[in-house]
Amino acid sequence: MNRISQTTILSIGAGFALPAFAQNGAREPLNDKPNIVLIYADDIGYGDLSCYGAERVQTPHVDALAANGVLFRNAHSAAATSTPSRYGLFTGEYPWRRKGTQIAAGDAALIIKPGRYTVPKMLKEAGYTTAAVGKWHLGIGDTNGQQDWNGHLTPGPREIGFDYSYIMAATGDRVPCVYLENQRVVNLDPKDPISVSYTRNFTGEPTGKENPELLTKLRPSPNHGHDQSIVNGISRIGFMKGGKAALWEDESIADNITHHAVRFIERNKEKPFFLYFGTNDIHVPRYPNERFRGATGMGHRGDAIAEFDWSVGEIVRALKEAGIYDNTLIIVSSDNGPVVDDGYMDEAVKKLGSHKPWGPFRGGKYSTFEAGTRVPFIVHWSGKVQDGTSDALVSQIDFFATLAALTKAGERSSIPEDSRDQLSAWLGIDRDGRDYVIGTASSLTLLTRDWKYIEPNNGNPYNKLTNTELGNHPADQLYDMRSDKGEYNNTASQNRLMLRFLKQILEEEKRKGTGLDL
């Protein structure tokens, strides 16, 4: 925090508690080279896990990590959608500082340029072997739309620091629906090459729009799109042709990527490693394996949460079997808040019942309201963290500086200032965490432990397709989060001093850089 805000905070006083540190430190001396496993869910909301209060779905494996780790109640992704959140996670830089960090198309070029210093590069310097398994969604190749999906796709994960990768290039609902292992399509038959277009269909190829009779597994929700190429009886965003032997089956994505994550753990158990495991669950199209069908009575969305929990259990099991569970820092979080109907008729709305994916918060995925970025965040490290819950304000933007502090690697001057060392909060010692964090959806938000400011925005306040309150409002919004977690009572006109103070912090932050090229 800079000098102005520090003094202003002290002088304003009200609303800012002085740091209250827990009595005891971490219980055991820290080893500075634990394995690091980040399990990064897709679209799992604050209220979607049983350790966060969900009742209609049980997530015993996640809950076990929470019970012996720290469960954070005020943790944030960098943005309310996937690409910018992942950008922030790996670069330590707020995505809103850069153009081109919004939701990436399935044929987007890599948005983190190979010259960038990243979390995996830093960990490699510290002696780690690094892997990215699962959802990527940061683009691949050097030019939008110009990838040759039949060759070696570069630049990609390796060029930004991952020794090994086994990824889905974008999202489950975007073509090409294939896995890439070390930047080559898996199981590609050279006689059946892949072509991809985000502008027009290939002659003779069916689409969800024209051939609804071929949609044997899921049909798109009206007006969302998702009605282009059909893969595995489900239509997608974008057009593709060829690669029949390489196409994924939605019902085995969790099995397949979990298997590759487990294999990476088994093969690398002797030396420190960093595993980023981006699950496909619970992004659309949700089509969990039949083992999980009916697990929750909430249809595919609920069952996909159960499937996610199974994946977590498999990772934990692999770590235990490899004898490295105690020496592994495990983090479970999500890239953005929840959405119920995100484009497919999977009965998620109808079967939601009393379940509240957004917990006590307003909004959801895409929203500047809290549920857009307030996500589950669990840190587990046997014997090293204070177990229990923490209300410290923490953010995924701090991965870089925090892991640098933990591993004693990385030059502070090479790590973006946005990323702060929050190791003490992650370990459950510092109960305050950050002074403030900036979030982004259609506009910027600034959250302190007690107050939330949302910049004016003329956008639509409501997304009718997804049924999301987006938080857009043409005037300043200021909420007192101590008494109004749900952001219903805009106090901007009553609390002029606090409003001015938060706006000033945000202006200072924006002056450090915004709208920059990638």
List residues near ligand NG6 by CB under 6 A.
Answer: 42-43, 81-82, 103, 137, 171, 173, 224-225, 237, 283-284, 336, 342-343
Interaction partner, residue 342 (ligand NG6, Ca ion, none; CB < 5-8 Å by kind)? ligand NG6
Q: Is 335 in the site for Ca ion (CB under 5 A)?
A: yes
Q: Which residue is nearest to ligand NG6 (CB)?
A: 82
Q: Is 455 in the site for Ca ion (CB under 5 A)?
A: no
Interaction partner, residue 107 (ligand NG6, Ca ion, none; CB < 5-8 Å by kind)? none
- Contact segment (CB under 5 A) with Ca ion among 40-48, 253-261, 296-304, 473-481 equals 40-48
Backbone torsion region of residue 156, taken as left when φ is above 0, otherwise alpha when ψ lies between -120 and 50, otherwise beta: beta
Separation between Cα atoms, residue 107 and residue 503, nearest integer Å: 37
Name which of 160 and 175 has its Cβ closer to ligand NG6. 175
> Cα angle vertex 440, ends 154, 96, to 5°?
50
Name which of 35 and 336 has its Cβ closer to Ca ion. 336
- Given a contact cutoff of 8 angstroms between Cβ atoms, the answer to whether 2 and 508 are in contact is yes
Q: Write out the E strands in 325-483.
A: 328-334, 377-380, 388-390, 394-395, 436-440, 444-448, 451-454, 462-463, 468-469, 477-480
Min dist CB 203 to ligand NG6, Å, is: 24
Q: Is 93 in the site for Ca ion (CB under 5 A)?
A: no
Interaction partner, residue 286 (Ca ion, ligand NG6, none; CB < 5-8 Å by kind)? none
Single out the residue of 8, 59, 82, 91 in contact with Ca ion (rule: CB under 5 A). 82
Q: Is 43 in the site for Ca ion (CB under 5 A)?
A: yes
Our measurement of the distance from residue 136's CA atom to the centroid of its chain's CA atoms, rounded to an integer in Å, reads: 10
Interaction partner, residue 480 (Ca ion, ligand NG6, none; CB < 5-8 Å by kind)? none
DSSP string of 14-79?
Answer: TT-PPP-B-SS--SSPPPS--EEEEEEESS--TTSSGGGT-SSS--HHHHHHHHTSEEESSEE-SS
Question: With CB under 5 A, what is the number of residues at the site for Ca ion?
Answer: 5
Interaction partner, residue 47 (ligand NG6, Ca ion, none; CB < 5-8 Å by kind)? none
Min dist CB 262 to ligand NG6, Å, is: 24
Q: Is 281 in the site for Ca ion (CB under 5 A)?
A: no
455 closest CA partner among 468, 436, 471: 471
Single out the residue of 42, 159, 281, 309 in contact with Ca ion (rule: CB under 5 A). 42
Min dist CB 79 to ligand NG6, Å, is: 9
Q: According to DSSP H, which parts of 408-479 are helical?
A: 423-426
Q: Write down the residue that tokens 């549920």 correspond to.
A: 371
Interaction partner, residue 443 (ligand NG6, Ca ion, none; CB < 5-8 Å by kind)? none
Name which of 162 and 344 has its Cβ closer to ligand NG6. 344
State the Rg of the chain over Cα. 22
Min dist CB 326 to Ca ion, Å, is: 31
Separation between Cα atoms, residue 449 and residue 264, nearest integer Å: 38
229 closest CA partner among 256, 204, 257, 254: 204
Interaction partner, residue 445 (Ca ion, ligand NG6, none; CB < 5-8 Å by kind)? none
Preceding omega of 288 cis (within 30 degrees of 0): no
119 closest CA partner among 378, 401, 327: 401
Name which of 338 and 428 has its Cβ closer to ligand NG6. 338
Separation between Cα atoms, residue 225 and residue 271, nearest integer Å: 46
Min dist CB 460 to ligand NG6, Å, is: 14
Separation between Cα atoms, residue 379 and residue 377, nearest integer Å: 7
Residues lying near Ca ion in the complex (CB under 5 A): 42-43, 82, 335-336
